[in-house]
């Protein structure tokens, strides 16, 4: 139960919310509908064809029934950048994964450049990275 762990209660700093992410739509549906959580829930979407069905207009609409956002594998957004706009139209946040310094994506010299492209050009809401120290703080989307 979420109540057992007090996950639905705000912590000392409400500016740092808990976001529950899962590759299992069924688990997120259970949390939202059966357990009644109000926490942000994000559906992680892998790079395989079966998972990519969530990125169709129908899949994104279905996800809004239980999720507040999606976390697609970054290559899926490179293949179809229009997913970001379609998700945003439905009120879903988009936070792709995983950005790593040791292997930036094709066409990028550094992971900073890659993250900056996703934030500034594609308009994602954030990124999942193994290297938060390399986050491009001067970007238009996430910069300060």
User: For 66-114, what is the HEC assignment?
Assistant: CCCEEEEEHHHHHHCCHHHHHHHHCCCEECCECECCCCCCCCCCCHHHH
pLDDT tens string 6-41: 665 656 666 667 889 999 999 999 999 999 899 999
pTM score, whole prediction: 0.86
Whether the predicted pLDDT of 5 surpasses 60:
no
pLDDT of residue 84: 98
Report how many domains make up the chain.
1
pLDDT tens string 91-124: 999 999 999 999 999 999 999 999 999 999 999 9
Contact 13, 49 (CB under 8 A): no
Which structural domain range is residue 84 located in? 18-134
pLDDT of residue 142: 46
pLDDT of residue 46: 93
The enclosing domain of 52 has a CATH number of 3.20.20.190
């Amino acid at each position: 139960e979420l109540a057992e762990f007090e996950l639905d209660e705000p912590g000392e700093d409400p500016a740092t919310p808990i976001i529950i992410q899962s590759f299992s739509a069924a688990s997120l549906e259970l949390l939202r509908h059966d357990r009644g959580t109000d926490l942000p829930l994000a559906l992680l979407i892998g790079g395989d064809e079966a998972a990519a069905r969530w990125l169709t207009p129908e899949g994104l609409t279905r996800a809004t029934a239980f999720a507040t956002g999606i976390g697609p594998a970054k290559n899926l957004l490179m293949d179809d950048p229009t997913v970001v706009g379609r998700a945003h139209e439905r009120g879903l946040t988009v936070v792709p994964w995983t950005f790593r310094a040791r292997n930036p994506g094709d066409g990028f010299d550094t992971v900073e450049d890659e993250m900056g492209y996703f934030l500034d050009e594609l308009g994602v809401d954030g990124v999942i990275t193994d290297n938060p120290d390399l986050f491009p703080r001067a970007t238009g989307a996430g910069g300060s």
